[in-house]
Structure 1
Amino acid sequence: MAMNITAGTSELRDVTKMERIGAHSHIRGLGLDDRLEPRANSQGLVGQAKARKAAGMILKMVQEGKIAGRAMLFAGPPSTGKTAIALGMAQSLGSDVPFTIITASEVFSLSMSKTEALTQAFRRSIGVRIKEETELIEGQVVEIQIDRSLTGATKTGKLTIKTTDMETVYDLGMKMIEALTKEKVLAGDVIAIDKTSGKVTKLGRSFAQSRDYDAMGADTKFVQCPEGEIQKRKEVVHTVSLHEIDVINSRTQGFLALFAGDTGEIKPELRNQINAKVAEWREEGKAEIVPGILFIDEVHMLDIECFSFLNRALEGELAPLVIMASNRGMARIRGTKFRSPHGLPVDLLDRVLIVSTKPYTEDEVQQIIQIRCQEEDTQLTPDALTVLTSMSMQTTLRYALNLIACGKVVARKRKAEMVDVEDLRRAYTYFMDEKRSVQWLKEQQGSLVFEEVGGKEDELMDIGQ
């Protein structure tokens, strides 16, 4: 039985995001020039020149559609910018190329099988760019005439639209009158009406009507009166992910399931039908595949079954570029008793391009602290910047960055605009770093309740390494 595959529009992506200062909110891109050479400090990224250049080369291939079904691994100590580089890649790609970020441990906490969770992540990372031809009515409104019936139940009307070359009168039904009223369309506005959906878009106000009012809002936009024919055919392009098409076709409520979060497990038969339909669209020139990026953070948390699935999934026809990050050295592969580099099986490592990240130098740490101060709208005195940099070298970069906001609160308490050395020292005494915490635990031996000592402890130690 033939099946009609439906695809949602790009409007699904227009969800308002709540802006906040996060750990990586200062990242704007990879900080590379036109020749893919890394700048020392650009777009929120500092140092890690080799890793950024490698990411830029991969990014270039993704943008040209020349790479998919490959895998990369960012390997390096904690706080060396692995996630930051991945987010920089996401910013550089733009909204049209899908970029999905998951943490490996998420796979185990979802109400579906591990392989289904990974499959959905894969299909979220593959976009389908669908081209459609639509008829538009575009012009300047000359007059809107609405007639109500005696009872007021029905409305009819006429809309007069003109371009620089012609003028036409259209009869209006109830729905079109409601759409025009909702958009607050008046005579003198330049509008576009999609004939298939009936959607009315207000493009602006005509320059010819700019002298009609003495006072106007700052957001009033003036545009030229359109030229040529009133009815035009335009090609509209929108990008949706394969996962969105899966959900829309697997649920009775269609694309509302995307907002409800009720995705559930999707049958392989449906996915095969969708793959066949997308292949048909490609042959007809109606659509093209946009391979995106799937970023798996803390990839060593996946188990041997997930790694086996990844091996197979990377060989599939519809596979994105998979980027992984791990901070482990020689570690046990989860689900086995074997140890392997980065906690990944050797056969998967063989498929992976490995990029290493190195600890930051003191100068680079100072630049990172300055960038974070700008992001958090905090001013440090020169002495405080030097002290915080040395604190970072003795403790960790993340601990030092956390002290910026704490120091700001302490400085505000003494009604100072800039954070000084004394504010940082006070915050340093309130909050322990990892080394001081370990030292304190040693001093408290006998006072605290400890884990049971025995065979289990050795196993836990082995997992932690």
Structure 2
Amino acid sequence: MIKRKNKFYKTIENQIIFSNTQHSHIRGIGLYNIFNFKYALQGFIGQICARKAAAIFLYAVKNSEIQRINVIIVGNSGTGKTCLSIAIGLSIDKTMPFVAVNGAELNFLSVSKIENIKQIIRKAIGVKFFNESFIIQGEVVDVKINEESEKNNISFAKLILKTNEIQSTYKIGWEIYSSFLKKKIKKGDIITIDKEKNLVEKTK
């Protein structure tokens, strides 16, 4: 937990998340659609015109009509610029990292303003990793052991699965076949096999 200028921050995996601040109640820009706004929704009160402009930008972003576009929100102090920017970020993706900075934080004698801005931009970069798996699912018709195969052979047994459309035959190794024995999988069971991780799950 970090205390800075009477504001509290929680640090989670190098991300700074607002907690107990003047913007912690904001959950989005508060709209049902571009033309249907509520005066107070998702913690956002008022600012109807600004929220409508933000909604048009959000619609274009979510429909991939614009990319790599910067938004500059201009206004006097206390007019809700930070509040609106937080709401836009949460409306795009609630896991999007958001870094709020005031002008005084850019004036460090040891680091130039440009380098300081670069460091802040790096903090606001979010990366998502996705794992792709090859999944086989269907109803067990039959499992036949290849008598000539050894346990280290990738074609230790043959598995016949059927779905509503097709019936297919797969070669399975000893590791998957042993999972069949442990989970007492029999004919008629509906199973799911993750070939990358050699995992077998009985769904029914």
Given the two structures, how large is their TM-score scaled by the length of structure 2? 0.54
Q: Give the Cα separation in 1 of the matches to 2:191 and 2:107.
A: 50
Q: Deviations over 1:147-181 (max 9, x none)?
A: 9xxxxx86955533221344444332255457x57
**In the alignment, what sits opposite 2:72?**
72
Deviation at 1:47, TM superposition (A): 1.3
**In the alignment, what sits opposite 1:100?**
97
- Flag the structure with more relative contact order, 1 or 2, with Cα contacts below 8 A and sequence separation at least 6: 1
**In the alignment, what sits opposite 1:44?**
43
Kept in 2: contact 1:146–1:158 (CA 8 A): yes
**In the alignment, what sits opposite 1:30?**
29
Matches within 5 A, 1:80-119: 81-94=80-93, 99-104=96-101, 105=105, 114=116, 116-118=118-120
Q: Give the Cα separation in 1 of the matches to 2:107 and 2:134.
A: 44
Matches within 5 A, 1:240-279: none
**In the alignment, what sits opposite 1:162?**
162
Q: Give the Cα separation in 2 of the matches to 1:103 and 1:34.
A: 27
**In the alignment, what sits opposite 1:173?**
173
Q: CA RMSD in A?
A: 4.8
Structure showing greater radius of gyration is 1
- Match of 2:73, SS state, is strand
Kept in 2: contact 1:31–1:44 (CA 8 A): yes
Which region of structure 1 is more displaced relative to structure 2, 158-167 or 101-110? 101-110
Q: Which amino acid aligns with 2:27?
A: R
Q: Give the Cα separation in 2 of the matches to 1:185 and 1:99.
A: 44
Kept in 2: contact 1:36–1:57 (CA 8 A): no
CA 201–28 in structure 1, closer or farther in 2 if over 3 Å, else same: farther
Kept in 1: contact 2:143–2:160 (CA 8 A): yes
Higher percent of residues as strand: 2
Q: Give the Cα separation in 2 of the matches to 1:162 and 1:185.
A: 19
Percent identity over paired residues: 23
Deviation at 1:42, TM superposition (A): 1.7
**In the alignment, what sits opposite 2:192?**
191
- Match of 1:72, SS state, is coil
Q: Give the Cα separation in 2 of the matches to 1:185 and 1:47.
A: 61
Deviation at 1:40, TM superposition (A): 0.8
Q: Which amino acid aligns with 1:114?
A: N
Matches within 5 A, 1:20-419: 23=21, 24=23, 26-63=25-62, 64-73=64-73, 75-78=75-78, 81-94=80-93, 99-104=96-101, 105=105, 114=116, 116-118=118-120, 120-121=122-123, 124=125, 136-142=135-141, 156-174=156-174, 176-177=176-177, 186-187=185-186, 188-191=189-192, 193=194, 197-198=196-197, 200=199, 202=201, 204-205=203-204
**In the alignment, what sits opposite 1:243?**
none
Q: Which amino acid aligns with 2:116?
A: K
Q: Which amino acid aligns with 1:89?
A: I
Q: Deviations over 1:249-279 (max 9, x none)?
A: xxxxxxxxxxxxxxxxxxxxxxxxxxxxxxx
Q: Which runs of 5+ in 1 are unaligned?
A: 1-14, 148-152, 206-465
Deviation at 1:81, TM superposition (A): 4.6
Q: Deviations over 1:126-167 (max 9, x none)?
A: x89x9x9x86533223466789xxxxx869555332213444
Kept in 2: contact 1:107–1:118 (CA 8 A): no
Q: Give the Cα separation in 2 of the matches to 1:203 and 1:36.
A: 47
CA 191–157 in structure 1, closer or farther in 2 if over 3 Å, else same: same
